[in-house]
């Protein structure tokens, strides 16, 4: 038990260190900013991560009395408003506690969590709290990405941006067969939407071996794809018209061309032409119609990622081994996208590149429970609140996804009009 507790301690300390590093990217005067209007200000998340930990481990799990109940409630849960609803850009300082108060709350909660590491009954709850913190690292970076450069503080020691080494675009034939998805109830931690393990028959299809890259998407933009009504669903068109969207949110027109915003600086789009394009599902679906393809289903992506020509399936696209740095761009190894297909060791048995890493992948599948779904007793609304037909499944991982979350059962989900995710896409071709 002591060894297990030590592993938990190391994992939490690493997560907390990265949390602090991410919040340090934001200038203190910008902590009340909402660069994404559908999200709370940064200061909320400084308090949300410890509040979630306290509420789940100490209050609900161990029955301890609260030392700051107002903060437990104020920072309890984020928001997911309708994707056509805007919220105020900034919050008045008077509506939020001062930063030193929130940091003192955070530190006291962390000390209480450390005292629970040796509690055997808390093991699954601690894993849930840990993964919750790791997932928020990525959502916080969506916000940092949208923050003006003069309101953030780039850290030292980041790896340089990578511009070369992309794989050629091609298609892979995936024969008809079984797709395995979900995960078995084997005692290991997983979020409720991952269970149970199941399988389904999948018809044969062709799939792009690399996701759509910036250079390909530029053709769609320059051909007037954003103005072609027939390419867009009713909801997507209304969203595009209302927001005046004419290109990916990370792009900016500059003279006769475009520049692309990375986490801390802009670069010429031509320099990152082979990076995957990050867009909303609405934009991805419009491009797919323009190109004569479609987005893959959740089961097709699993089949392409984990299936094998000889039958059976793999744990990961590259096989059953633990994820390594050469398998893909995940785990904060680059802090930016890399050229598509530049990690060939991570390709699937069918020769499909980066089904894990370099960006989540949009699917055509609404987020819904698997047959036999059971809500988590410790967090019953985690998934069930979003089984509404308005969210779509994403699979894989981005550069900002922690290694711990790189597992075949892990599912992400977002509304189709949400353009801030580090999400790429590729096309499937049938018939």
Give residue-wise pLDDT tens across range 135-166: 999 999 999 999 999 999 999 889 999 999 99
Determine phi and psi for 276, rounding to 5 degrees: -65, 145
Q: Which residue has the tokens 């789009």?
A: 269
Residues 82, 55, single domain; the answer is yes
Least confident span in 86-90, 324-328, 367-371? 86-90
pLDDT above 80 for 82: no
The residue ranking higher by pLDDT, 61 or 84, is: 61
Q: Looking at residue 2, what is its pLDDT?
A: 53
Residue 91 has pLDDT above 80, yes or no: no
Domain identity same for 285 and 372 = yes
Domain count, the chain: 2
Question: Quick check: is 366 in a domain?
Answer: yes
**Are residues 175 and 144 both part of a single domain?**
no
260 and 139 within one domain: no
The gap from C-alpha 309 to its chain's centroid, in whole angstroms, comes to: 29
Residue 299 belongs to domain with CATH number: 3.90.1580.10
Confidence (pLDDT) at 225 = 98
Assign 259 to helix, strand or coil. Answer: strand
Mean pLDDT value of segment 173-200 = 93
Q: Are residues 184 and 215 in the same domain?
A: yes
User: pTM (2 decimals)?
Assistant: 0.94
Instruction: Tell me: do 94 and 188 sit in the same domain.
Output: no
**Amino acid 187: pLDDT:** 79
pLDDT given at position 95: 81
Model pLDDT for residues 274-309, shown as the tens digit of each residue? 999 999 999 999 999 999 999 999 999 999 999 998
Question: Whole domain around residue 300: which residue ranges?
Answer: 162-431
pLDDT band at 186 (very low <50, low <70, confident <90, very high): confident
Q: Are residues 124 and 259 in the same domain?
A: no
Residues 143 and 181 grouped into a single domain: no
Same domain, 96 and 195: no
The CATH number of the domain holding residue 42 is 1.20.120.450
Three-state DSSP string of 327-375: HCCCCCCCCCCCCCCCCHHHCCCCCCCCCCCCEEEEEEEECCCCCCCCC
Last residue of a domain, one of 116, 151, 186: 151
Q: Tell whether 156 is covered by a domain.
A: no
Q: E strands within 70-154? A: none
Confidence of residue 29 (pLDDT cuts 50, 70, 90): very high
Q: Is-contact 225 285, C-beta < 8 A?
A: no
Pick from 113-122, 263-272, 292-301: least confident? 113-122
Q: Is the pLDDT of residue 349 over 90?
A: yes
242 and 388 in one domain?
yes
Asked whether residue 366 falls in the same domain as residue 416, the answer is yes
* pLDDT computed for residue 309 by the predictor: 86
Q: Does 22 map to a domain? A: yes
Of 151, 185, 203, the last residue of a domain is: 151
Provide mean pLDDT across the span 372-401.
97
| 306-323 confidence digits (pLDDT tens) | 999 888 889 999 999 999
Residue 177: which of 294, 298, 302, 315 has the closest Cα?
302
Q: What is the mean pLDDT of the chain?
A: 93
Domain end call among 118, 151, 184: 151
Do both 138 and 169 map to the same domain?
no
The confidence band for 5, taking pLDDT boundaries of 50, 70 and 90, is: low
Decide if 284 contacts 232 (C-beta within 8 A). no
Provide the pLDDT for residue 86: 41
In a domain, 157, yes or no: no
């Amino acid at each position: 038990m002591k060894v297990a507790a030590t592993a938990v301690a190391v994992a939490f300390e690493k997560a907390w260190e990265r949390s602090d590093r991410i919040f340090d990217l934001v200038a203190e005067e910008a902590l009340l900013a909402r660069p994404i209007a559908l999200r709370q200000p940064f200061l909320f998340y400084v308090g949300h991560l410890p509040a979630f930990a306290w509420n789940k481990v100490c209050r609900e799990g161990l029955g301890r009395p609260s030392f700051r109940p107002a903060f437990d409630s104020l920072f309890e849960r984020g928001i997911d408003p309708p994707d056509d609803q805007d919220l105020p850009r900034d919050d008045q300082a008077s509506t939020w506690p001062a930063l030193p108060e929130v940091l003192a709350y955070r530190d006291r909660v962390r000390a209480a969590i450390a005292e629970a590491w040796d509690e055997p009954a808390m093991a699954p709850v601690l894993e849930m709290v840990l993964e919750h913190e790791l997932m928020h690292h990525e959502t916080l970076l969506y916000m940092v990405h949208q923050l003006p450069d003069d309101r953030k503080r780039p850290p030292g020691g980041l790896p340089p941006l990578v511009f070369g080494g992309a794989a050629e675009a091609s298609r892979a034939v995936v024969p008809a067969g079984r797709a395995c998805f979900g995960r078995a109830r084997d005692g290991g931690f997983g979020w409720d939407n991952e269970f149970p393990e199941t399988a389904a028959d999948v018809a044969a299809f062709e799939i792009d071996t690399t996701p759509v890259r910036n250079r390909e998407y530029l053709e769609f933009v320059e051909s007037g794809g954003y103005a072609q009504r027939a390419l867009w669903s009713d909801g997507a068109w209304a969203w595009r018209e209302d927001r005046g969207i004419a290109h990916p949110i990370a792009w900016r027109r500059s003279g006769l061309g475009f520049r692309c915003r990375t986490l801390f600086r802009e670069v010429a789009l031509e320099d990152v032409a082979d990076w995957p394009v990050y867009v909303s599902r609405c934009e991805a679906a419009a491009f797919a119609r323009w190109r004569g393809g479609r987005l893959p289903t959740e089961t097709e992506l699993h089949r392409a990622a984990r299936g094998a020509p000889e039958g059976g399936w793999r744990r990961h696209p590259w096989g059953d081994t633990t994820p390594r740095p050469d398998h893909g761009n995940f785990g904060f190894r680059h802090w930016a996208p890399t050229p598509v297909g530049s990690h060939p060791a991570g390709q699937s048995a069918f020769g499909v590149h980066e089904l894990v890493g370099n960006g989540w992948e949009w699917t055509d599948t609404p987020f819904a429970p698997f047959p036999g779904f059971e809500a988590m007793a410790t967090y019953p609304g985690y998934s069930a609140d979003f089984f509404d037909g308005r969210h779509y499944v994403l699979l894989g991982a981005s550069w900002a996804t922690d290694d711990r979350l790189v597992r075949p059962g892990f599912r992400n989900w977002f509304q189709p009009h949400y353009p801030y995710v580090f999400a790429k896409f590729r096309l499937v071709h049938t018939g």
